[in-house]
Amino acid sequence: MNILTINNNKKGCLWFRKSNKNNLFGQGCKLIIQETNCNLTRDFYLITCDKGGDLFAACSAKNNLYLFNIGKNFYKHVVSFGSVSILTMAFSIRRRNELLIATNEDLVHCIDVETGNTIATLRNTFGSINHISLHSAGHLFITSSRDGGQLWDMNLFKKKECLGVDRNDVELTQIMFLPMSDNIVSIFSNNTILVWSCSTLDCMYKLPLDSSVNVNNTFKSTKNLRYMAASLDGKWLAAVGRCQQMYIWRMDERQLFKIIRLPGSIGYVKKCQFINSSFNLDYTVISILTSEGSIRFFNIDNCNEMKSKIGGPDYNKDFNVKINTFSPDKRFNSYQICGGSFQDESESTCKYLIAVSDSGQIFVFDLSFILNCVNKPPKPKVKIIAQPKLKKLNSLKTVLDDVKSKNSGFFIDNKYLHQIQDILKTYKELPAKYRLFIWRSVLRIPENHEYYTALFDQPIHISYQNIAETFPVKSNKHFRALQRCLSALTYWSEIFSEITYLPYIVFPFIMIFINNQLIAFEIIMTFLINWAANWFEYFPNPPISLLASIEQIFMMYDSQLLNHFIAYKVTSQIYAWSLIKNLMTEVLSSSDWLIIMDHIFTNKISFIYCMILSYSVTNRCILLSCNSLKDFEYFFQRKNVINIYDLIKNAYKIETFLKNCNIETNINDKLNVLMEQPKIQYIDANVPYPIFNKYPSFVVNYQIEESKRLRKEHLEYLEKKKTNELIHKSSVNRQIAEESWFRQQKLILDAESERRKIILNKENALEEDRKRYFKL
Query: What is the mean pLDDT of each successive set of 10 residues along the chain, which is 776 residues long?
Result: 78 71 49 69 82 85 89 89 90 89 91 91 86 89 90 89 79 89 90 88 86 46 80 88 87 86 80 72 77 82 41 36 50 81 49 84 81 57 43 50 51 69 82 87 89 90 89 90 93 88 94 91 93 87 90 90 93 94 92 93 90 94 92 91 91 87 47 61 87 75 74 86 91 92 92 92 90 83
Report the predicted TM-score, pTM, of the whole model to 2 decimal places.
0.49
**DSSP classification of residue 424:** H
| 708, burial (CB in 10 Å: exposed 0-12, middle 13-18, buried 19+) | exposed
Cα within 13 Å of Cα(531), Cβ side: 23
Name the helix (H) or strand (E) containing 46. Answer: strand 44-49
Q: What is the pLDDT of residue 195?
A: 92
β-sheet with 236-241: strand ranges across = 225-230, 236-241, 245-250, 255-261
Distances (CA, A) of 317 to 245, 265, 321, 377, 568: 17, 15, 9, 11, 69
Are the C-beta atoms of residues 111 and 118 closer than 8 Å to each other? yes
User: How many CB atoms neighbour CB 241 within 10 A?
Assistant: 24
Note every long-range contact of 109-116, with CB atoms under 8 Å and residues 24 or more positions apart, other chains counting.
110/157, 111/65, 111/78, 111/79, 113/57, 113/67, 113/78, 116/78, 116/79
User: What type of residue is 80?
Assistant: S
Are the C-beta atoms of residues 135 and 104 closer than 8 Å to each other? no
Report residue 318: phi and psi, to 5°: -75, -35
Are the C-beta atoms of residues 14 and 73 closer than 8 Å to each other? yes
Distances (CA, A) of 585 to 231, 488, 509, 574, 646: 51, 22, 11, 15, 18
Are the C-beta atoms of residues 519 and 513 closer than 8 Å to each other? yes
Q: CA-to-CA distance for 65 and 58, rounded, in angstroms?
A: 6
Q: What is the pLDDT of residue 225?
A: 87
| 95, burial (CB in 10 Å: exposed 0-12, middle 13-18, buried 19+) | middle
| 36, burial (CB in 10 Å: exposed 0-12, middle 13-18, buried 19+) | middle
User: Structural domains in the chain?
Assistant: 1-123+334-363 (2.40.10.480), 398-695 (1.10.472.80)
Q: What is the pLDDT of residue 534?
A: 86
Are the C-beta atoms of residues 278 and 348 closer than 8 Å to each other? yes
User: How many CB atoms neighbour CB 198 within 10 A?
Assistant: 17
Q: What is the pLDDT of residue 233?
A: 83
Sequence-separated (6 or more) residues with CB below 8 Å from residue 84: 63, 103, 104, 105
> Which residue(s) pair with 211 in the sheet?
none
> Which residue(s) pair with 272 in the sheet?
288
User: How many CB atoms neighbour CB 188 within 10 A?
Assistant: 17
